[in-house]
Copies of this chain bind each other. A is one copy, B any other.
Amino acid sequence: MTDLPARVTLHEEGPREGFQFEKTLFPLAERVRFVDMLSATGLSRIQVASFVSPRMVPQMADSAELFGAIAKPSGVRHTSLWLSEKGYRQAAETPGVDLSGLILLYASDAFSLRNNGCSADEMRRRQEDWIAMYDADGVDIEAIYIMTAFGCNLQGDIPFAALDANLDWIASRFAGRALPVIYLADTVGWAVPTSVTTRISYVRNRFPDARIGLHLHDTRGAAMASFLVALQLGVTQFDGSVAGLGGCPFAGHGHGAAAGNICTEDMVFMAHEMGIETGVDLEALIEAARMAEALIGRPLPGRVMHGGSLASYRNSTPTIGKRT
């Protein structure tokens, strides 16, 4: 494992992922405090909220207010998500939003139909309008997400060859312009290390110079192993949610809600222990995770936030020698 990257970049999505499916509406002041804590951890990019239908996602109805109320330290970008041109327009008009152009593609027709009311093919066609919209505003396109790239609860297995239509589209639409980071998104938690490996290789085979990112969910426990195999393959861009926010509180079986996005501070812990820099203060991020858990009011899936970091054990005791 000598070819591990020296540094990875983590994109924090907890503030959006964590609250959008909750039945409770949490006070704006508490969410402001949460984002402010995250903004002080060293994270360089935080997805604060989405601009989506307030009828469908009432938890995001006050996104503009949230952006207006949070502190804006230098070196931190506060991004947002949208699923339509209308959502993008709202984001573009909201002070405090750091616009970052994104393209949304789907490997599963069924999932696109449910999320967007149109086929994956029609969604690709709509993205041509999005490209024009970003170009008109001079907004850089930073990321292309291929959603349900590993499997789909509605459609079943997604073999890697099912990525072809999206890769063809990318090759055609981004010929002659800067290729954004291509994010393979495990939208519903089907990825395992072997499927991560085959898909990364498949995309690299098509786009040898592509920067690849991973958006993982830990629904079935394989996310940290998938993170590891991606590190071994030199991937350096990862989405995550502090405390593992983003699980579905009413979908889980039994006492526990289904786990959400891969947990940011667990990635930070493991990366640091492996000698990989993140730029993030682990202790500060753990404090933010605990604040989120207190706010949500039920156990969240993060591990190191409950087990505690190793700093206290190291600081209080003499070590026998250099750790390796």
Contacts and interface: CB of A to CB of B under 8 A. Distances in A.
Given A195-B273, A255-B297, 20 more contacts: A1-B193, A1-B229, A4-B194, A156-B320, A159-B322, A162-B320, A193-B274, A194-B275, A221-B224, A221-B303, A222-B224, A224-B224, A228-B229, A252-B307, A255-B293, A256-B293, A258-B306, A258-B308, A259-B303, A259-B306
A197 interface: yes
Nearest to A323: B157
B253 A298 contact: no
A159 B195 contact: no
Query: Which secondary structure characterizes the binding site on chain A?
Result: loop
A185 interface: no
24 contacts: A1-B193, A1-B194, A1-B197, A153-B313, A154-B317, A155-B320, A156-B313, A156-B320, A159-B319, A159-B324, A161-B321, A195-B273, A195-B324, A219-B304, A220-B269, A220-B307, A220-B310, A221-B270, A222-B224, A228-B228, A253-B305, A254-B293, A255-B293, A256-B302
A317 to B, nearest CB: 4
A323 B192 contact: no
A321 B156 contact: no
Contact of A256 (B223, B306, B322): B306
